[in-house]
Amino acid sequence: MEFCPKCGKILLPDKDGNLKCSCGYEDSISDEEVKEQYSFEGETNPQQEVIVTDKKSTAMPTKKITCYKCGGTEGVWWVLQTRSADEAPTYFIRCTNCGNTWRQSN
C-alpha cells in the first residue's frame, strides 16, 4: 500500500493506473511491486486490511511494535469501534517506518 505524503491517507488506483488521494495528490504507479500490491482485488486478508483514517500519524500515540513487513519497531495505533457497539473495539497499528497497517486483536 502506498500512503499519501501530504495527508497520510491510503492512495487508491484509478482505471488509468494512477494513484489518487481525496486531498488532490496524484502519483503514477511505476513500480511493478506496487502494482502487484494493488492486484489482490476481492481478497480479504485480515493482515492487509485497508484502513482509511483522517487522523494524521503525527497526532497518534506511538508504541513499540514489530512490523512483519520491514521489521520496524515503532508504530502508531488507534482504536475503531467496528460494526455494533456490543463488540469489543479493534486496535489498529501502523508501522511508522514503512506505513504497513494491520489489526491487533486485543
Report how far residue 11's alpha carbon sits from residue 69's, in angstroms, rounded to the nearest whole number: 19
39 marked ligand binding residue: no
Q: Does 97 bind Zn ion (CB under 5 A)?
A: yes
Q: Among 34, 53, 98, 103, indicate the residue that binds Zn ion (CB under 5 A).
A: 98
CB-nearer residue toward Zn ion: 14 or 89: 14
Q: What DSSP assignment string belongs to 5-49?
A: TTT-PBPEE-TTSEEE-TTS-EEE---HHHHHHTT-TT---GGG-
**Contact with Zn ion (CB under 5 A): which of 3, 13, 19, 21?**
21
| 39-78 residues near Zn ion, rule: CB under 5 A | 67, 69-70, 72
